[in-house]
Amino acid sequence: MQNHKAFPENGLYMAGWCILALAAFLILIKNIFFPGFLVLEHMRPCLLYSLTGFFCPGCGGTRSVVALVHGHFLVCAVDYPLMAYSVVMYLWFMVSQTVERISRGKISIGMKWHNYYILIAVIILAAHFVGKNIFYIVTGMQPFLS
């Protein structure tokens, strides 16, 4: 029997399938019951932006998800790079783990968990937060493609 503390990939793999199923379910429900609903038209303005004029670290996240669902990966990556990083890491993890599991370890390419993945995510988040605010201050233009 495998020790789950020694193999965090098992829990992450199961969570990955749950996330995929939930996302597919939500997209299906949205398309069946709310086909004309546009998420971005119903969003409230960012509180930090409303109070300070600066974009918060999360600004662009919803735009990025909408762009991703519509297949616009470049827009997704520009609007919120953390989403693009997360999608690439998710796909890499799920495909590599699936290949390793289907081959029963004969093709040992399963991505393993490392704590520095979180550090990379924090660096991307911080860099985007600073970059989009500097871009806005310098140019006066919204730092989003969508």
- Is residue 9 a contact partner of residue 113, using CB atoms and an 8 Å limit? yes
Is pLDDT larger for residue 41 or for residue 80? Answer: 80
Asked which of 11-20, 44-53, 76-85, 95-104 is least confident by mean pLDDT, the reply is: 44-53
Residues 6+ apart with CB under 8 A from 44: none
Q: Is the model more confident about 45 or about 128?
A: 128
pLDDT at 18 over 70: yes
The secondary structure of residue 110, as a DSSP letter, is P
Chain-wide mean pLDDT for the chain? 89
Task: Give the pLDDT score at 46.
Answer: 84
Compute CA distances 97 → 1, 11, 16, 119, whole Å.
Answer: 18, 12, 10, 22
